Amino acid sequence: MDIIRIIFAILLPPVGVFLQVGLGLHFWLNILLTILGYIPGIVHAIWIIARR
């Protein structure tokens, strides 16, 4: 299942985070990072998925 989350994290970072943690603080932080820059959103999403 982590492979699917990582693929989503690369394509749509907030979706990958949502699949991992739901609608929490990390989800909204990832949306903000993705809006500010696509790469920071990807890095944050992969970090969240790899951490748990």
The predicted-structure confidence for 5-52, as pLDDT tens digits, reads as follows 999 999 999 999 999 999 999 999 999 999 999 999 999 999 999 997
pLDDT of residue 11: 96
How high is the pLDDT of residue 35? 96
CA distance 3 to 35: 24
DSSP secondary structure of 6-49 = HHHHHH-HHHHHHHHH-SSHHHHHHHHHHHH-HHHHHHHHHHHH
At residue 23, the pLDDT reads 95
| End-to-end Cα distance, the chain | 12
Residue 1: pLDDT band (50, 70, 90) is confident
| Phi, then psi, of 15 in degrees rounded to 5 | -70, -40
Residue 1 DSSP SS3: coil
